[in-house]
Each structure stands twice: as C-alpha cells, then as structure tokens.
Amino acid sequence: MKNVIRKPFRYSNVGVVYWLIGINVIIFATMQILGSGFSRYVSLYMAMIPAAVMNYKWIWTFITYMFLHGSITHILFNMLGLFIFGIHVERQMGSREFLLYYLLTGTLAGFFSFIVYYLTGNYFIALMGASGALFAVELAYAVFFPDSIIYIWGILPLRAPIMVLGFTALELFFAIRGRDNVAHLTHLAGFGFGWIYFLIRFGMNPWRRLIGR
C-alpha cells in the first residue's frame, strides 16, 4: 500500500498552471459579461453552500468553489499568486502531481470548511475562491525552494519559509478574531492538507525543509 501511495507519476510539464488560471479567468469574465442574474445562478451551483450540500447533495461544489471568485481583486490576487508560485512548483513536481496536489488540497479544504460551517450553524454561507489550494501551493514552494527570496509588495525581502509561516500565523490570528468575511479557516486547511500531502505522498517532513535541516 505504501508503495502505491508513493508511486511517482511519469514526469511532464504541460503548463497546468496556465490552464487553471485560464479556467478561473473565463468563468469570472463570463459572469461579469452576462450580468448579475447569471452570476447569481452560477454562484448558486458552483459555490460551496453547506445547506445545498446537506439538502441536495451538491458534493461537486467541494471542487467547483475553487474556480469561483467574487470580485476582481479576489481573482487578481489568487491568480497572481498561482502564477508566481505555481509555475515553479509544477516544474518541480511535474504536471500530473501538481494537478493532483492542487485539486486534492483545495477539495479537502472545502470539505473541512463545510464541517466547520455545519457545526457552527453557518448553513447558508457561500464559500468561493482558490485560496485554500493556493496556500497549499505556497507551502510547496517554500518546501522546494527554502532559500528563495520573495519581495512582499515588491519591497520587503523575505525568505519563502518566513513568508509562508508568517502568512499562516496571520490567517490563524484573523480566524480567531473572526471579524471579516474572509475564509481564513479554508486557507489554513489548505496549508494543513498540503503539509499532510508531503508527509504521506513524498515521505517528506515540511518542517525540516522550512527550517533548513
């Protein structure tokens, strides 16, 4: 069983990141062009809404929510992050591994969010955005390239592990604070499932890579 779980895919690099960005942009642009009525219809069937999952078994929304964004800034920052970090991670992992990693961590982050919303009575909240999977991609980037320097806002230089751990700490703080509509727990879940993926799939402890051991 262990050998099956860790059996590598045949390596290829076909630009999955560009396809993911393209799909996200096409969906967002179509919603904007066709107006608010169409946008509400698409959001109803693609966003992860706990009540819809419970009552109508719309389990596909654990995946489709990742391809839905509520504003231009929402999709801009997510797709920019996917472009900056995802290209390098895909090149390192290979396209098949990257696609599995991206979709699996994002789906599990959506499922985790569903459980949290269900237990806290938030049945009608609409979860959307690629941020959960993106946090997993950022973790992978820091694990694969721990000496890489990232310039925050183009000014502040930080090593990739510091950036990822810092962002994670901020997400944890805001999740506990709980005063906005951002899905901080989904972001943290993406990070957490990415961590577990490295442990199980690659037999690699991310912590040792992040701290340089």
The SS3 assignment for 89 reads helix
pLDDT digits (tens, 9 = 90+) for 64-77: 999 999 899 999 99
Band the pLDDT of 2: cuts 50, 70, 90. Answer: low
The count of other CB atoms within 10 Å of the CB of residue 210 is 19
Give dist(CA 41, CA 8) in Å, integer.
40
The count of other CB atoms within 10 Å of the CB of residue 78 is 19
Residue 58 lies in a domain: yes
Residue 51 clears pLDDT 90, i.e. is over it: yes
Do residues 144 and 89 lie in contact, with contact meaning Cβ atoms separated by under 8 Å? yes
What is the mean predicted confidence (pLDDT) over 132-143? 95
Backbone angles phi, psi at 187, to 5 degrees: -60, -45
Residue 119 clears pLDDT 90, i.e. is over it: yes
Give the pLDDT of residue 32: 94
The count of domains in the chain is 1
Do residues 65 and 48 lie in contact, with contact meaning Cβ atoms separated by under 8 Å? yes
What is the mean predicted confidence (pLDDT) over 34-38? 89
The residues near 74 (Cβ < 8 Å, ≥ 6 apart) are 129
Residue 179 clears pLDDT 60, i.e. is over it: no
Supply angle C-alpha 185, 191, 196, rounded to 5: 120
List the domain range (segments joined by +) for residue 87. 9-210
Residue 4 lies in a domain: no
Q: What is the pTM of this model?
A: 0.93
Give the pLDDT of residue 157: 82
Residue 1 lies in a domain: no
Give dist(CA 114, CA 118) in Å, integer.
6
Residue 75 lies in a domain: yes
Residue 3 lies in a domain: no
Residue 2 lies in a domain: no
Give the pLDDT of residue 209: 85
Residue 70 lies in a domain: yes
The residues near 57 (Cβ < 8 Å, ≥ 6 apart) are none
Q: What is the CA radius of gyration of the chain?
A: 17
Q: Tell me which residue of 157, 164, 158 sits closest to 195, measured CA to CA.
A: 164
CATH of the domain at 143: 1.20.1540.10
Residue 155 clears pLDDT 90, i.e. is over it: no
The residues near 1 (Cβ < 8 Å, ≥ 6 apart) are none
Residue 154 clears pLDDT 80, i.e. is over it: no
The residues near 145 (Cβ < 8 Å, ≥ 6 apart) are 88, 92, 160
